[in-house]
């Protein structure tokens, strides 16, 4: 029946076949058998299935009970899996360890929603329907960005979110660590980045036009040991953590900590503090050799903590008034033979693009890194990746120039945007992006598909900015259940039936989120305690 069993998977699987026979009975006599390559998945299963496994020698067929077996099959695609359930055995085969892990996530969805709780009732057993499932993702980049600079998310909240990404078969966590309103990564060479840059004296409540203020000091940061723990926790769930260190804009917190990073010949940077407001700060990093060295030293420590092949440097929203007024910036433009201030930003982006490439990493930046001639002349290195947020045109242009692209357009995939019209929606920001809008998003623009360049689209990503989301409860409300729709587009591809998706969502997936303690937005609108009357937003048509 709809909403249960084999038709309840979110995201939907490529091929699902029911099989005859009584269900597989999973109880305390069920053994777990894993090849060495699957030991990490076995460890995850033991900790996340509520029921314990029988202790045994790990040999298939040993003992009298049923078995769950994990194997690698080199004939399957990377991240692909095959799941076979018979009355006596569950067999998950993956093209790699990640594929086995995604198969284990599917197995958990074949169980009742109570399987998503952290503990179960003694004596319970699970019944799994006999079936054959073959599945693999459409895109290799299935991501979510969390902004912890505007409102800090403690480590436990990040780990909790990683569990939810894994449950939705998402494999990239874009970690937005720095901005005007806070610097969140401990950099040992420059302790004031967190000593001063991680804290602001007060915070605007609501949109930047709001007259309301929270007068409490706000802040926080992650030690490098915290971040290594987050990276390891994500890796166990086959999630890559992509850190973002913003430059040359969105850098007021860094300049507040180290005033020499700013345009000291134009602004009294020593008087700047960590920004308490929202929007786009006018203060950019100065284009000097000392600033380049400073950020190279910062990135040395970033690379030491984050093994990701991708490092995000931001590059968005950079008003150039200070550079136009700065003799230092103008001298750099003349020295490098640049056209204007946009080309100066492109010069800085190219510097770090090459610096990262020389260390085996790939620069990622918002689509403004295409501005100012970065696709002309020496241009970006071939490995540079563009996050296309101002619609999809920037991503299409980057793909046509030979660069990989992650699609994350603001009007469809920015989860801080309001989910419905009307006065009940808390802090209504931007255009409406409904659950249906997210589900209907087509990641590959027609012009790329027609030109045979669709493979340049690595995948898609939802972005959660936290100016108006000061707690895990508020993030939950904005993210879920729209993240489930994003996950289905990323894993299963466009073209599914929205009505079928909603049936699976309501019938089975929302109860899973309930069991996991996720404070999602109900489809018929916010619960009374989720509303925020009196806090101004900025709704757009």
Which bin fits 369, alpha (ψ -120 to 50), beta or left (φ > 0)?
alpha
- Give the pairing of strands 89-94 and 81-85: antiparallel
Tell me how far apart the alpha carbons of residues 45 and 136 are, in angstroms, rounded to a whole number: 20
Q: What angle do CA 401, 403, 405 make, to 5 degrees?
A: 120
CB 518 within 8 A of CB 164: yes
Active site residue 317: yes
DSSP-assigned states of every residue in 168-225 = TT--EEEEE-EETTEE-B--TT-THHHHTTTEES-EE-SSTT---EE-S-EE--B-HH
Tell me how far apart the alpha carbons of residues 168 and 117 are, in angstroms, rounded to a whole number: 16
Q: Where are the alpha helices (DSSP H) in 376-465?
A: 393-400, 410-413, 435-440, 446-450
CB 439 within 8 A of CB 488: yes
> Is the bond leading into 11 cis (omega within 30 degrees of zero)?
yes
Q: Which of 29, 317, 340, 342 is catalytic?
A: 317
Helix (H, G, I), strand (E, B) or coil at 498: helix
Phi, psi for residue 351 in degrees, rounded to 5: -60, -50
Task: Report which secondary-structure segment, H or E, holds 325.
Answer: helix 321-325
- Exposure class string for 16-42: b at 16+ Cβ within 10 A, else e: beeeeeebbebbeebbbbbbeebebbb
Q: Which of 168, 218, 159, 163 is nearest to 466 (CA)?
A: 218
Question: Residue 414 has what DSSP assignment?
Answer: B
Q: Which of 168, 176, 218, 250 is catalytic?
A: 250
**Other C-beta atoms within 10 Å of 322: how many?**
21
Tell me how far apart the alpha carbons of residues 2 and 169 are, in angstroms, rounded to a whole number: 21
Task: Look up residue 2 and give its two tokens.
Answer: 């709809």
Q: Which of 93, 179, 186, 416 is catalytic?
A: 179
Task: Measure Cα distances from 251 to 52, 199, 206, 333, 448 in Å.
Answer: 49, 14, 22, 21, 34
* DSSP β-bridge partners for residue 400: none
Helix (H, G, I), strand (E, B) or coil at 395: helix
Active site residue 455: no
Active site residue 179: yes
CB 198 within 8 A of CB 191: no
DSSP-assigned states of every residue in 5-48 = GGGG-SSPPSEEEE--SSPEEESTT-EEEE-GGGHHHHHHHHHH
Burial class (CB within 10 angstroms; exposed 0-12, middle 13-18, buried 19+) of 394: buried
Which residues are catalytically annotated? Answer: 179, 250, 317
């Amino acid at each position: 029946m709809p909403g249960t069993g084999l038709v309840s998977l979110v995201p939907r699987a490529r091929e699902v076949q029911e099989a005859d026979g009584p269900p597989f009975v999973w109880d305390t006599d069920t053994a777990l058998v894993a090849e060495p390559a699957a030991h990490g998945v076995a460890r995850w299963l033991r900790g996340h299935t509520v029921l314990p496994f029988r202790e045994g020698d790990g040999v298939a067929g040993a003992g009298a009970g049923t078995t769950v077996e994990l194997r690698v099959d080199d004939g399957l695609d990377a991240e692909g899996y095959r799941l076979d359930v018979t009355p006596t055995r569950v067999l998950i085969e993956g093209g790699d360890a990640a594929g086995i892990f995604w198969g284990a996530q599917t197995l958990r969805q074949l169980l009742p929603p109570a399987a998503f709780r952290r503990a179960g009732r003694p004596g319970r057993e699970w019944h799994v329907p006999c079936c054959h499932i073959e599945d693999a993702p459409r895109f290799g980049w299935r991501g979510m960005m969390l902004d912890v600079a505007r409102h800090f998310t403690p480590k436990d909240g990040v780990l909790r979110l990683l569990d939810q990404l894994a449950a939705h078969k998402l494999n990239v966590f874009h970690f937005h660590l720095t901005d005007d309103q806070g610097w969140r990564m401990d950099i040992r060479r420059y302790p004031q980045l967190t000593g001063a840059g991680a804290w602001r004296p007060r915070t605007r409540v609501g949109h930047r036009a709001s007259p309301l203020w929270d007068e409490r000091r706000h802040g926080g940061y992650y030690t490098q040991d915290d971040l290594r723990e987050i990276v390891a926790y994500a890796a166990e769930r086959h999630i890559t953590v992509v850190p973002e260190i913003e430059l040359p804009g969105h850098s007021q917190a860094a300049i507040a900590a180290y005033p020499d990073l700013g345009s000291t010949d134009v602004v009294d940077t020593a008087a700047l503090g960590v920004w308490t407001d929202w929007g786009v700060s006018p203060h950019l990093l100065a284009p000097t050799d000392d600033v380049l060295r400073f950020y190279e030293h910062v990135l040395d420590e970033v690379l030491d903590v984050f093994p990701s092949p991708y490092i995000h440097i931001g590059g968005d929203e950079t008003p150039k008034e200070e550079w136009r007024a700065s003799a230092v910036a103008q001298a750099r433009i003349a020295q490098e033979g640049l056209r204007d201030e946009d080309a100066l930003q492109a010069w800085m982006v190219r510097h770090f693009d090459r610096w990262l490439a020389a260390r085996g990493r790939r620069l990622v930046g918002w689509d403004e890194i295409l501005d100012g001639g970065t696709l002309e002349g020496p241009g970006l290195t071939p490995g540079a990746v563009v996050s296309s947020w101002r619609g999809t045109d920037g991503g299409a242009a980057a793909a046509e120039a030979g660069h990989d692209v992650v699609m994350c357009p603001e009007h469809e995939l920015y989860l801080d945007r309001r989910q419905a019209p009307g006065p009940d929606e808390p802090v209504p920001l931007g255009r409406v992006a409904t659950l249906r809008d997210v589900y209907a998003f087509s990641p590959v623009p027609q012009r790329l598909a027609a030109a045979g360049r669709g493979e340049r689209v690595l995948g898609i990503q939802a972005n959660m900015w936290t100016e108006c989301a000061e707690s895990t409860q508020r993030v939950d409300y904005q993210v879920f259940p729209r993240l489930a729709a994003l996950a289905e587009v990323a894993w299963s591809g466009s073209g599914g039936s929205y009505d079928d998706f909603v049936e699976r969502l309501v019938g089975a997936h929302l109860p899973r989120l309930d069991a996991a303690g996720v404070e999602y937005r109900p489809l018929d609108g916010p619960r009374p305690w989720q509303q925020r009357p009196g806090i101004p937003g900025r709704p757009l048509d």
